Structure 1
Amino acid sequence: MVIKIDFQSSEALYIQLRNQIILGIATSRIQEGDALPSVRQLAEDIGINMHTVNKAYAVLRQEGFLTIDRRRGAVIALDADKMQALDEMKRSLRVLLAKGRCKSISCREVHELVDEIFAEYAQEQ
């Protein structure tokens, strides 16, 4: 698993880590049932604090992307509740679309962007 952290970014490290894992799932580099590295190992591998990795894993668990197994540690286990996932996506999109609207980004441009990004996931599977 390749995790890219931008130490110059203003985005919190745990959010970057969370996003990298979600992108890994979306592009099938990480599959349901895969065990993630231990908190200690991942922190050491990418050069960040263990508490940062722990926070990212906790957020992913809360969002329904992984479970914590006594023997295997953090394991990818996607939440089957599609309606909950759609509600979460809707809440996130509201803010992103409002930002785009403030910058005069058109509906057509948003649709093109969504199609482009979705196509990237389809190609990588």
Structure 2
Amino acid sequence: MDVYINLDFESNEPIYTQLMHQIIAGIAKKELKPGDALPSVRSLAADIGINLHTVNKAYQQLKQEGFILIHRQKGVVINPDGVPQADDQYMNNLTSTLHPIIAESICRGLSKEQVLQLTGELYENFTKKEGGDK
């Protein structure tokens, strides 16, 4: 796996969620491509020093959301068909997730332009290619 996993054991965010987010980021940045193999649950748990049930929980959630497939013979792979595209349910979940973040940003004095600039910069971090080409 080409993606470096960096977990923050002091974070309030659960370890399995951090692991999921980093794998999803690897897919978004095209560091992980459709069909790429991921380490087994046991191997990844040993490599990063966490409980195998934590890795299993992350993998099961990623499987449920269509990011990975788990085969008995082939192991864990990034979904060869690619990640399922956004549908109404995804858009509803995204709205529910962003709603409190936007509300807090407003309460903390951020302007619409600041929020849009930040989200634009984050988006660019996932979509820019090496060498500056897009």
Normalising by structure 2, report the TM-score: 0.83
Q: 1-side partners of 2:107 and 2:76: how far apart?
A: 39
The one-character-per-residue Cα deviations of 1:75-123 (angstroms, maximum 9, x if unpaired) are: 2124333224333322221222122222222211111011111111222
Q: 1:103 aligns with which of 108, 112, 124?
A: 108
CA RMSD of aligned residues (A): 1.7
Residue 62 of structure 2 corresponds to 60
Structure 1: segments with no counterpart, 5+ residues: none
SS of 1:82's partner is coil
Structure 2: segments with no counterpart, 5+ residues: none
Q: How do residues 11-90 of structure 1 correspond to structure 2 at under 5 angstroms?
A: 11-77=13-79, 78-83=82-87, 84-90=89-95
Which 10-residue stretch deviates more, 60-69 or 30-39?
60-69
SS of 1:29's partner is coil
The one-character-per-residue Cα deviations of 1:34-93 (angstroms, maximum 9, x if unpaired) are: 121100000000000000000111111122211222222222124333224333322221
Q: 1-side partners of 2:30 and 2:111: how far apart?
A: 31
- Identity across aligned pairs (percent)? 43
Q: 2-side partners of 1:32 and 1:88: how far apart?
A: 24
> Contact 1:28/1:124 (CA < 8 Å) preserved in 2?
no
